[in-house]
Amino acid sequence: MEQRQLGDGLTVSAIGLGCMGMSQAYGPSDSTRDDHIALIRSAVDQGVTLFDTAEVYGPYVNEELVGEALAPVRDQVVIATKFGFDIKPEGQQNGLDSRPEHIREVVEDSLRRLGTDRIDLYYQHRVDPDVPIEDVAGAVKELIVEGKVLHFGLSEAGAATIRRAHAVQPVAALQSEYSLWWRRPEEEVLDTLAELGIGLVPFSPLGRGFLTGAITADTVFAEDDFRNDMPRFAAEARAANQAVVDLLVTIAAQKDATPAQIALAWLLAQQPWIAPIPGTRRPERLAENLGAADIDLTEDDLAAIEDASAKITVLGARYPEYMEKLTDL
């Protein structure tokens, strides 16, 4: 697979694998833990080198899963994980916590769960308004000096925060939601990343499954599926937002591809320093997603997508209000 240069000397596969859904968020799965380990190892065999997890996924169990799956190929891959939440012993999130002393504590726990001596890319999961970003960057800089972390990342951070952090410790990558139905990073963040030489790792590049075309206004989610709480996934919003999927279906038919592949290919075509991390629990979806790297969207294709998408108004907030407050964008 094509390799892409993010920032601070970090090279990754053009498409990575987001592992969160193997442990939470999308309801029950027929897949077992062994199936997930096999899926992650299959991704490696197919050229994926970037794997994304976080302490809060599960919590904790996703890091353990990723660490075990990648142990045989540890030196061939980039493991990205995240800090920044206060997680109680019972597993509940209790707000944000990016105090330097907390970072130093939780990095040891993540290293242990991942079964490794270094974290390749260590993201602040969400910007903590109670802790100056300079203090956060300084704490990670110390971990880099000690060899426990190789590269520093931010997630859902705005342009001003990125600049302040980067002045203390070079930021290799920003992880933020970015797709054809969530384009806010284009307002200011993408120009900042280009100026500073920072890569972008889009999460939810397939709109949490919506851009695949598999979800309709009639879809019923499992009771514990977090999309039930997202305004953008209300039935009326799904019906209105079908226009985005219809656009992808049209382009996909012309390219002998799937809507998901066009959505990912569109992201890859935006900048050479963008590496999306679609997640899946199914081997066939993994192969489909990775196939997007072989799709060539011409300038005419991109112009047609841009023209058509500009006429579509996406309905519904992406998060409930309490979650949206966590973003710095």
φ, ψ (nearest 5 deg) of residue 271: -155, 150
Is the pLDDT at 94 greater than 90? The verdict is: no
pLDDT, one tens digit per residue, over 207-237 is 999 999 999 999 999 999 999 999 999 999 9
| pLDDT (average), residues 76-91 | 95
Q: Provide the residue range defining the domain that includes 178.
A: 3-207+270-295
Residue from 82, 77, 50, 66 nearest 293 by CA: 50
Residue 250: inside a domain: no
Q: What is the mean pLDDT of the chain?
A: 96
Classify residue 130: in a domain, yes or no.
yes
Q: What is the model's pLDDT at position 61?
A: 97
Residue 239 φ then ψ, to 5°: -65, -45
254, part of any domain: no
As given in the structure block, the two tokens for residue 44 are: 């490696």
Give the residue-averaged pLDDT of 3-20: 98
Confidence band of 90 (pLDDT split at 50, 70, 90) = confident
- Tokens matching residue 54: 């976080």
DSSP label of 26? B
- 325 occurs within a structural domain: no
> Is 124 within a domain?
yes
pLDDT at 204 over 90: yes
Per-state percent for the chain, helix, strand, coil, to nearest 5: 45, 15, 35
Q: How confident is the model at residue 260 (pLDDT cuts 50, 70, 90)?
A: very high
Q: What is the pTM of this model?
A: 0.97
CATH of the domain at 15: 3.20.20.100
122 noted as active-site residue: no
Q: Is the residue at 329 inside a domain?
A: no
Say what the pLDDT of residue 210 is: 96
pLDDT at 92 over 90: no
Residue 115 lies in a domain: yes
Q: Which of 57, 122, 123, 178 is catalytic?
A: 57
Residue 325: predicted pLDDT: 87
Q: How many domains are contained in the chain? A: 1
Residues 57/63, Cβ–Cβ less than 8 Å: yes
pLDDT at 29 over 90: no
pLDDT beyond 90 at 27: no
When pLDDT is averaged across residues 164-170 and rounded to a whole number, the result is 98
Mean pLDDT of 312-326: 92
Residue 315 in domain: no
